[in-house]
Structure 1
Amino acid sequence: MSLADWKEDQKLINRISAAIRSGNVSHAYIIEGDTQTDKERFARDFLKALCCRERPGSGCDVCASCRKIDHDNSEDLYIVRADGISVKDKDIALLQENLKTKPTGERNMALIANADTMTVRAQNRLLKTLEEPPGNAVILLLSENKENLRETIRSRCISYRLGGFRTDDSGFEGANEMVNALLENEKFFYLKKLLSGYVKNREDAFKLLDGMEKIYRNFVIGDDERGRLVRSEDVFSYIELIEEARRDIIANVNYNYAIKDMIIKIGGIYG
C-alpha cells in the first residue's frame, strides 16, 4: 500500500506528495485520526514516499527502502509505543539517543504511536528535540486527539487529520442509534440496554466514542440534518464529554462507567 491508495484523503495526499518532491519537508508532523483510522499504516506510507527513490512522493512498495519500512527492519526508523497506558520519559530519552546516530540512508526517522498519551515529562523532553531537531530527521506523532499534546509541541509540528482508510467501521451503527436515542430523550434504562448491545469490551467503547464524535462533528459542519435540532454550543459540549470519556478509559477507568457517565451528562444537556 502506498500514499496513492488513501483515496478519501486525496487533497491531503497531493499536498504531502508535492512537499516531498519539492524538498519542503518539515522535521515533525502530527498525524491525527480516530481509533478506527490506521494511523500507523499512513505513517509508514508517508515515510516510504519520503525515502523511495523509484517513486518519490508516493512510494513504490517494492524497493529495498519501502520493504524495510513495511517490515520494521529499516535501520533508520525508530518506533516508540506506549509502555502500559502511556509513553514515558525513558522512551523519549532512548529515542533522542537513537536520533543522534548517523543514518545509513539520508535521514533518521521516528514514529511515536499513542503520542497523545505521553507523560508531561516525556512531552517536555520531546520538546527539546523539536526545538533543535538532529540533522534532517523526521518525527511523526500519531494521535487520536492532538489537544492532549502541549501547545508548544503542537506549534512545532505540521498537523494532518485523517478521515480515510479505516480498519473497522463497526462502531458507527451503535453510535448512530445512541445519538438518535439521546435526541429523542429516551429513558436511561433504554440507553443502558442499547449500550450493553454494542459495547462488550474496551475496544467497542472506543469505537462507540469515535462514531459519536464523528456524528456530532457532522452536526457542526452541516453534513447531518439532525444538527438543526440542537444548539452548536451544546454539540461542542458533547464532543468535549466524549473526549473526557476517552481520556478516562485510556487512564484505565472502567469503560462501562466512563461511557455511562458520559451518556448521563449528554442526556442532561439535551434535557
Structure 2
Amino acid sequence: MAFEEIVGQERIVEILKKTLLNNTFSHAYLFEGLEGLGKKQMALEFAKGVICSQEGMKPCNVCQTCRRIQEGNYPEVNLIQEDGTIKIEKIRELQKDIQMKPYEGRKKIYIINHAENMTVQAQNALLKTLEEPPAYATIILLTVNGNSLLPTIISRCQILKFRPVEIGKIQQVLMEGRGVSREESRMVSSFSNGIIGRALKLLEDEDFKRIREEVLKLTEEMLRRDTINLLESVDFFTKEKNQIEEILDMLVSWYRDLMIYKETQELHFLMNCDRIEEIQDQSNRIGLKKIRDIIFIIDQTKGNIKSNVNFQLNIEVMLLNIQEVLVW
C-alpha cells in the first residue's frame, strides 16, 4: 500500500505528505469519514512515513521498518480495535504503554479504529493523555462520526475529513485494477455511494447480485399486471427485510434511469448501464408522469418504514399502488 493507492483522498494525502516533508507532526489526528473510504490505510501509511528510517520522500515502502509496519509487526505502531465497545481498560493499557519511550526508532504511533465506540469513561481517560502527550507519541483517531466524541477530544486533534469519491474515479480503479468491464464497473460504482471499499465488496457480493436480479424481475412483473403474483413478491421483501433500504434504493435507481433515458436518450447518465435493453423497453412502455408517480410512491414507502409503519402492509400498499399507476 502507498499513499497513491488510496483513491479519491488527494487533498489529505498532500496535507500528510507536507507534514512528513517538513517534519511538523501534531500529537493527535482525527480521521473522519464513512466506512470504506481508506481511513485505516491512510493512518498506517502516515505511521510508516513518521517512522520510516530512509532519507528523502517518506514513506519509502521498501525499508525494513516500512515493511514491518505494513505487515503489522512493528512494536511502536499500535492498532487498537475492538469488536464492540472500547472500554476504559483498553485506554489505560495505551496510557501505560505510551509512558515508555520507543524501543525502536524515535516515535510511537497509536491508531484507535472506530473511536466512536469508546465509552465516555474511556474518552475521559484518553483526554488526559491528549492534554499532556509525550513528544515522541502521535495518536490517530478513526471515526465515522466525530460528533460522537467529546468536544474536548475533538478540540485537541487535527481534523481531516474523508469525502466520498467521484464515481468516475472508482470506475477507473475497477476497470484498471480489477479488470472489470466498463458496464459492470459503472453499475457497481453507481451503487457504491462514493465509497471505494463498498464498490470492491459489491464486486464479490453474491447477495447483492441476487437481490438486484429479483428487484429487476419485479419491475417487469408489475408491468404484466398480475396482482396475485405481485402480492407473492411480498415474501421476497419480508425475507430480505434487513436489506429493505438497499432494495428500495435499487427500485428508485431503476425508475430514475427510465426517466433519464426517456427525457434525454443518454446512456452515460444511467446507473443500471448493464441493462440498457430493459431500460429502453420499459421506458417506451411507461409514461413520464407514471414514472415520477412510482418514484414518489417508493420514496413515501421508505419514509413509512422509517416511521415504523407495519412492514408487510406498507410493502403490499406500495406494490398495489405502483401497479395501479401502471394500469391507469
TM-score range, shorter chain: 0.5 to 0.7
Which residue does 1:264 correspond to in 2?
Answer: 306
Q: Is the 8 A contact 1:3 1:49 kept in 2?
A: no
Alignment of 1:175-190 (within 5 A): none
Which ranges in structure 1 are unaligned for 5 or more consecutive residues?
A: 178-188, 212-259
Distance apart, 1:54 and its partner CA:
3.0
Q: Is the 8 A contact 2:101 2:136 kept in 1?
A: no
User: In structure 2, how many angstroms separate the alpha carbons of the residues matched to 1:99 and 1:15?
Assistant: 26
Alignment of 1:53-202 (within 5 A): 53-54=53-54, 58-82=58-82, 84-103=83-102, 104-163=104-163, 164=165, 166-169=196-199, 170=202, 197=240, 199=242
Distance apart, 1:124 and its partner CA:
0.1
User: In structure 1, how many angstroms separate the alpha carbons of the residues matched to 2:305 and 2:239?
Assistant: 13
Which residue does 2:17 correspond to in 1?
Answer: 17
User: In structure 2, how many angstroms separate the alpha carbons of the residues matched to 1:22 and 1:262?
Assistant: 54
| TM norm structure 1 | 0.63
- State the one-letter code of the partner of 2:68: K
Asked which structure has the greater RCO (Cα within 8 Å, sep 6+), the reply is: 1
Q: Is the 8 A contact 1:127 1:152 kept in 2?
A: yes
| TM norm structure 2 | 0.53
**1:167-194 Cα distance to aligned partner (Å, 9 max, x none):** 22239999xx9xxxxxxxxxxx999966
Aligned-residue RMSD, C-alpha: 3.7
**1:226-260 Cα distance to aligned partner (Å, 9 max, x none):** xxxxxxxxxxxxxxxxxxxxxxxxxxxxxxxxxx8
Secondary structure at the counterpart of residue 85 of structure 2: coil
The alpha-carbon distance between structure 1 residues 85 and 198, as it changes in their structure 2 partners (threshold 3 A), is same
Distance apart, 1:16 and its partner CA:
1.2
Amino-acid identity (%): 29
User: In structure 2, how many angstroms separate the alpha carbons of the residues matched to 1:191 and 1:13?
Assistant: 47
Larger Rg: 2
Q: Is the 8 A contact 2:54 2:60 kept in 1?
A: yes
User: In structure 2, how many angstroms separate the alpha carbons of the residues matched to 1:62 and 1:261?
Assistant: 52
Distance apart, 1:85 and its partner CA:
1.7
User: In structure 2, how many angstroms separate the alpha carbons of the residues matched to 1:10 and 1:195?
Assistant: 42
The alpha-carbon distance between structure 1 residues 263 and 137, as it changes in their structure 2 partners (threshold 3 A), is farther
Secondary structure at the counterpart of residue 46 of structure 2: helix
Distance apart, 1:80 and its partner CA:
1.3
Q: Is the 8 A contact 1:77 1:110 kept in 2?
A: yes
- State the one-letter code of the partner of 1:114: H
The alpha-carbon distance between structure 1 residues 264 and 50, as it changes in their structure 2 partners (threshold 3 A), is same
What is the aligned residue count?
202
User: In structure 2, how many angstroms separate the alpha carbons of the residues matched to 1:43 and 1:126?
Assistant: 18
